[in-house]
Amino acid sequence: MPTDLTIIPYYNDVSRTQHTLSDKEEYELFESYNLYKKQLHIFITKTPITIQQLKIFYFDLMAGGKSPAKLDSSYNAKKKGHNKQVSDRLQIAFLTGDFTKISFSLLTYYKAAQALVEPRHIKEFKALKTALLGIEEKILHSTLMAAIKIADRYASNIFGIEVKDAIQEANKGILESIEKYNPNYVREDGQRIKFITYAYKNATKKVKEYIMNQSRLVRLPRNKLEKIFLIIEATRRMTKPDDILGLSQKANEILAERKERTLLTEEKITEEEVNEAIELLGGNSIPLDYQNSFTGDESSRPKTLGDLLPDEKTPNPEEHLLIQSNKRDLIEECSRNLNDLEFTIIYYKYLQTGDERSLKEVQTQLKLDNKNLSRERINQIKKTAFQKLKGSNKFKTLLMEGIR
């Protein structure tokens, strides 16, 4: 895998850069790719200095109490018992010196090659690596439209994720898939599975993981973000996205498809959870209509989940409080509408530093004021305060001024 992942730029006119591969071209590219990988494997596992480097990697992982299975490109962490199978296979390989049943990841080969010192060995390695990188770049260019569509599906204002960053993450997922793909994969009907079909799921997963780790909604529980993704996907598939009951049913259908079984009662997404997602995302740019790829022109942005809300819907105060700009007036309005304890909790949690504090931090601050409250009680008071603030027209106006 390339060490520099800033390979594919974002283009408004994708047709200038994307070369769609024919079925024959794709098959031949991957056949060549796998041939170069095999040659690299033989070179690394037959050269004494790189064999020694592989042993160092292996025993360092063992000494650190970590599984060495990740050295193998075939390792699947989600496959039950696969960690032990791969680890046992690696153990036998390092004991016997027979690596014919092992396929190390490209990153492992590249790291091992850093130990090379003889010019002829360095030259041979560079030739193989250049050939592999060249094929990877051709494949990435052929999948650029798919990467942009995946990125545009999830990049949005509410998540604070730029389209370019999301494209980069989608490309990382595609790169990982290149290494694992076999051009001889076939469906039950005998048709060959094209690469982008194979890579699509992993590219989408990478973008979602990036959002979960980098989004400004990262404080939301991971399972809640997953449900929001499901509800957005359900909205995309529905002809009437304003049907709350239909949205929850469609979201549960999608979830059941992914789990490949009937959902348990506690796993199902309820109408209340759909409503909560709509309130959370209201008025922000979450793409729903993905049939036409976003071209970079803001006027071409598709409609949003916020369109499901009536016009008079109040902005969610907890989401927008951190990004308002009229802090002094907002503090005064909070003081006017809340009792002393409610104001103190809201001030410590959201307004004092400009960053949201945890309940534990607020509890510590209150103790300095000789107020001993449990975190549960602090959370209850916070909710009561927001209910009061929702009834303040000036508070709504200040929020809207802060987010324009």
| 175 close to 1: Cβ distance less than 8 angstroms | yes
pLDDT at residue number 33? 95
Residue 82 has pLDDT above 90, yes or no: no
Alpha carbon 113 to its chain centroid, in Å, reads 31
In angstroms, rounded to a whole number, what is the distance separating the alpha carbons of residues 285 and 158? Answer: 7
Q: How far apart are the first and last CA of the chain?
A: 42
pLDDT at 352 over 80: no
Could you count the other beta carbons within 10 Å of the beta carbon of residue 90? 24
Residues whose CB falls within 8 Å of the CB of residue 22, separated by 6 or more in sequence, listed in order: none
Q: Which pLDDT does position 226 carry in this prediction? A: 76
Q: How far is 39 from 149, CA to CA, in rounded Å?
A: 35
Q: What is the pLDDT of residues 264-322, one digit of tens each?
A: 888 888 887 777 776 665 534 333 333 333 333 333 333 344 433 333 333 444 444 43
Q: pLDDT digits over 149-169, tens only? A: 888 777 654 566 777 888 888
Chain length of the chain: 404
As a whole number of angstroms, the distance between CA 6 and CA 156 comes to 21
Query: Residue 2 contacts by C-beta under 8 Å, 6 or more apart in sequence?
Result: 133, 136, 175
- Mean pLDDT highest for which of 102-106, 184-188, 275-279? 102-106
| pLDDT tens-place string over residues 51-79 | 999 999 999 988 888 888 888 888 877 77
pLDDT of residue 280: 60
Is the separation of the CB atoms in 115 and 78 below 8 Å? no
| Residue 42: pLDDT over 90 | yes
pLDDT number for residue 241: 54
For 239, 290, 331, the CA distances from 323, given in Å and listed in that order, are: 34, 28, 14
Question: Which of the 8 DSSP states describes residue 298?
Answer: G
Average pLDDT over residues 165-190: 88
Which pLDDT value is given to residue 49?
94
Q: Where are the domains of the chain?
A: 220-313, 317-403
For residues 53 and 49, give the distance between their C-alpha atoms in angstroms, rounded to a whole number: 6
Mean of per-residue pLDDT scores for the chain: 75
Query: Which pLDDT score is estimated for 335?
Result: 78
> Across 27-31, 195-199, 242-246, 373-377, which has the greatest mean pLDDT?
27-31
384, amino acid identity: T
Distance (Å, whole) CA 157 – CA 306: 12
pLDDT confidence of 46, banded at 50, 70, 90?
very high
CA–CA gap between residue 249 and residue 234 (Å, rounded): 9
Burial of 312 (0-12, 13-18, 19+ CB in 10 A): exposed
With a threshold of 0.85, does the pTM exceed it?
no
Confidence at residue 343, expressed as pLDDT on a 0 to 100 scale: 84
* Whole-number Å distance between alpha carbons of 108 and 286: 39
Using CA atoms, how far apart are residues 96 and 109, in angstroms rounded to an integer?
19
Q: Quick one: pLDDT band at residue 127, thresholds 50, 70, 90?
A: very high
User: Is 146 within 8 Å of 200 (Cβ atoms)?
Assistant: yes
pLDDT range class, residue 221, cuts 50, 70, 90: low
* Cα–Cα distance for residue pair 104/37, rounded to 1 Å: 10
